[in-house]
Amino acid sequence: MKIIEKNTECFSLKHISICFTEMSSQEQAKLDNLLYRVRAKTLVDKHDLLTFLTIYELADLIKIWPASQEKLALERIFKRHQIIWSGQNFSFDLTLDPIVYSIVNVTPDSFYDGAEENLNLDFILQRVEQDLQEGAQVIELGGKSSRPGYADISPEEEWQRLAQPLQNIRQAFPEAVIAIDTDEAYVMQRVLDAGADIINDIDGFDTPEKLQLMQEYQPALVAMNNGRAGMNYADNVYQELPAYFTEKQKELNQLDIANAQICVDPGVGFSGGATGIDSLQRVKTTELLTNLGLPVMIAISRKSFMTNLLNMEVDERLLSTLILENQMMMDGGRVLRVHDVAATRRLIENFKIYQKY
């Protein structure tokens, strides 16, 4: 028997195409028994069997396959599709294990939880401690709102909001992985000097100054296509987002930024008007973006398109958030950027149980 991966030009966590060929009738019968769970995704002729496996199904097949050259071939295929996200002080194997990436807004005007208490250091530290206890693996601080129609502030004011919380979180929780949500090079440099691990830029590192900083500091990063100023509006997100991120990946690689440092965000909820259709289409690009072999962020938490499109009021949006997050994990998204850490942790646990049986 030979085992051949059919599509080696891209990556996937949902549809990994594997051909089992040159089989005896006995081997084919044995393989058919091993693949009983995925018969609906299997094509068989006299000597060949073609199947499409999720990464979880492939992992399960490897576990039960007897030690042999064929098992090694399956393990090589699995390794090719592994998704690692790493920085200078952390490394997450996301292949089978999605992570919770907690939003901690240091702003009075964020779309969901904006309040003056967000500027209080004790409140921020209590929130971070609670989120870490509830299972957050990344803590993201944001010093200004990026909601539709937001009022911009100066980079100096943004840094002023972030400086003390960042310093105190690093001291109180030295093992915590800390991300900063900013689109300002001025802020990026200062938070990196202060010990931030990840930079999340809603504008996708769109200036030479930002790119130079990323090359110099080599952090992990999150690059978004938000469809706003400076980016072409995506008439067809299913074509334009993969093309955009393919070029962004090449641009970052040329700066010696490795694929393992790069996470991509399809930019749900930032553009496309009041209907919410653009946002839902961006949700559905998740599987296409996993073809790049990069971690894909799931950043839809309680966003307003859910009211416009799904008729969910503000206090009901957790339900639609969890439903769509589950689908995006099925499609290969692995970094869940959220307000509701405990609920998301339970979602991931139940998602993994579902994949197990």
The one-letter code for the residue type at 279 is S
The answer for residues whose C-beta is within 8 angstroms of residue 52's C-beta and 6 or more apart is 15, 16, 17, 18, 38, 41, 42
Buried-exposed string 207-243: b where 16+ CB fall within 10 A, e elsewhere: eeebbebbeebbbbbbbbbbbeeebeebeebeebbbe
Question: Whose CA is closest to 285, among 234, 247, 320?
Answer: 234
Among the options 303, 317, 334, 345, which is catalytic?
Answer: 303
C-alpha to C-alpha distances, 26 to 52, 108, 274, nearest whole angstrom: 22, 67, 59
Can 302 be counted among the known catalytic residues?
A: no
Contact predicate 262/297, CB 8 Å: no
Among the options 161, 248, 302, 337, which is catalytic?
Answer: 337
Can 228 be counted among the known catalytic residues?
A: no
Q: What angle do CA 68, 72, 78 make, to 5 degrees?
A: 145
Residues annotated as part of the active site: 303, 337
